[in-house]
Amino acid sequence: MAIIGGAKVSSKLGVIKSLLDKVDVLILGGGIANTFCHQLVIKLENLYGNLSSLINVMK
């Protein structure tokens, strides 16, 4: 397991890439987590459309 946090994503990308092959779990916190979550939402919306309507269906 590895835990990485902080605001500057650019300074941590190399570390994250090297850790992906070495750990089973990678936990992101702080500003870096927000960046990854934002990109995940964009990718999911490209696949499924508006996520708020999908979430309403799941309720």
10-residue mean pLDDT series, the chain (59 residues) = 88 90 93 86 78 64
Residue 20 sits in which domain range?
Answer: 2-58
pLDDT score of 52: 72
Count the domains in the chain.
1
Cα 19 to chain centroid, rounded: 15
pLDDT score of 38: 84
pLDDT score of 26: 93
pLDDT score of 32: 87
How far apart CA 13 and CA 35 sit, in angstroms, is 12
Model's pTM, two decimal places?
0.61
